[in-house]
Amino acid sequence: MAGMVLACNIHITWYLWGEFLVIPFNRPYMTGNEHMYIDQAHSNRKLAGDGMFTNNCHNWLEINTDSKKALLTHSCTAALEMAAILADIQPGDEVILPSYTFVSTANAFVLRGAVPVFVDIRPDTLNIDEKLIEAAITPRTKAIVPVHYAGVGCEMDTIMEIAGRHDLLVIEDAAQAVMSTYKGRALGSIGHMGAYSFHETKNVISGEGGALLINDERFIERAEVIREKGTNRSRFYRGEVDKYTWIDIGSSYLPSEIIAAFLWAQLQDAENITAERLKIWDEYHYALADFEEQGRLRRPIIPEHIQHNAHMYYVLLNSLDERTEVIDRLKKRGINAVFHYVPLHSAPGGMKFGRAHGSMKHTEDLSDRLLRLPLWVGMHETETICAAMFS
């Protein structure tokens, strides 16, 4: 029975099974206040979206990111879909993005009929190579979608400058970047719009959840309508109109108050969560320095002007075979380390809906060699994990 439970929950459970220690890749962190706030939402008898807890989260996000407007959504995917509608993406339009990303970065735009145009990544940060963007622009290009991989910012100054010159929108996929900054500005708040994820695998969580940050005032009013099934219900709630009605396309993108109550507990603790994660990240970085020196792996590179949020600790092994060996070695010790994205340009969906612009050599090479190590608040096993990688 214990064996069955272990097999089912190896990714999410951490406990001693006899002498066998299982270290999961991720373990969602709870602040301790989630139940209290959910109970409060229950007592308030306000369970649909946009109640007190949603407002608290909106205010927190606006204050802490300096964004003009924050709107909770039920996922980052939903926030990206809203952004694609707001960007007025039409069939045949093109959107420039990295291939080394999650499927939603592309799919949100493909749903509107756009063609994702994939550009290679930088070998240092694994973010879109800003120097390759301009050559991928065509008369059909509508937007650039930088993805801040591992919560480390893309070169936003260059990207914004290119977008400005070509009259393009920038939609930041900041799914992994809550609490990260670029030159002191919150990631997600620099482009015209930005999307956060609060999925349980992220730093600040609500199970499923997300937010759209709107940094260009032009989009605020329409965003509220799209999020509320294409109606002006948000204005009705504020008493600005005496009835609400259907005025645009839209869907149901807002989460319930139960989700917002959970998220409120997490946002209040976001600084502590980030500090705890950074400590673990730093421990890995220190412990792995010798292996880097010996040429066995490469550690993450964080540019000076970027403050990351320790969303992820990854290493780059020397080859796919070496990565497989390290994964197997760690697995035998009960340590769950995982690779990441299969590049989108090589996936069936990517080949059907998108196209690669130029060589994808870094995307293909690095995706084969990248390994993510366990990182969650409360873990104390960084040294054990590092020691187990090559022995």
Ligand X SMILES: Cc1ncc(COP(=O)(O)O)c(C=O)c1O
At its nearest, how many Å lie between ligand X and the CB of residue 311?
Answer: 9
Gyration radius from the chain CA atoms: 21
Helix residue ranges per DSSP H, 186-293: 220-227, 233-237, 257-268, 270-287, 289-293
> CB 80 → ligand X: shortest distance, Å?
7
Q: Considering beta carbons, is residue 133 or 175 the nearer one to ligand X?
A: 175
Nearest to 90 by CA among 105, 118, 110, 68: 110
Q: Tell me the closest approach of the beta carbon of residue 107 to ligand X, in angstroms.
A: 9
What are the backbone dihedrals phi and psi of residue 42, each rounded to the nearest 5 degrees, phi first?
Answer: -60, -50
Report whether 212 contacts 195 (CB < 8 A): yes
DSSP 296: S
Minimum CB distance to ligand X, residue 262 (Å):
14
Tokens of 37: 């706030």
Closer to ligand X by Cβ: residue 129 or 173: 173
Closest C-alpha to 333, from 383, 288, 299: 383
Contact 186, 207 (CB under 8 A): no
Q: Which C-beta is closer to ligand X: that of 176 or that of 232?
A: 176
Residue nearer to ligand X on the CB measure, 199 or 227? 199
Whose Cβ is closer to ligand X: residue 149's or residue 232's? 149
Smallest gap from residue 191 Cβ to ligand X (A): 14
Environment class of residue 321 by beta-carbon count within 10 Å: exposed (0-12), middle (13-18) or buried (19+)?
A: exposed
Q: Which one, 267 or 389, has the nearer CB to ligand X?
A: 267
Q: Collapse the DSSP code of 244 into the 3-class scheme (helix H, G, I; strand E, B; otherwise coil) and give the result.
A: coil
Given the complex with ligand X, which of 300 and 334 has the nearer CB atom?
300
Residues of this chain that interact with ligand X (CB under 6 A) are: 75-77, 101-102, 104-105, 147, 173, 175-176, 197, 199, 210
The least CB distance from residue 104 to ligand X, in Å, is 4
* Cβ–Cβ < 8 Å for 198, 205: yes
Least distance to ligand X from the beta carbon of 108, Å? 9
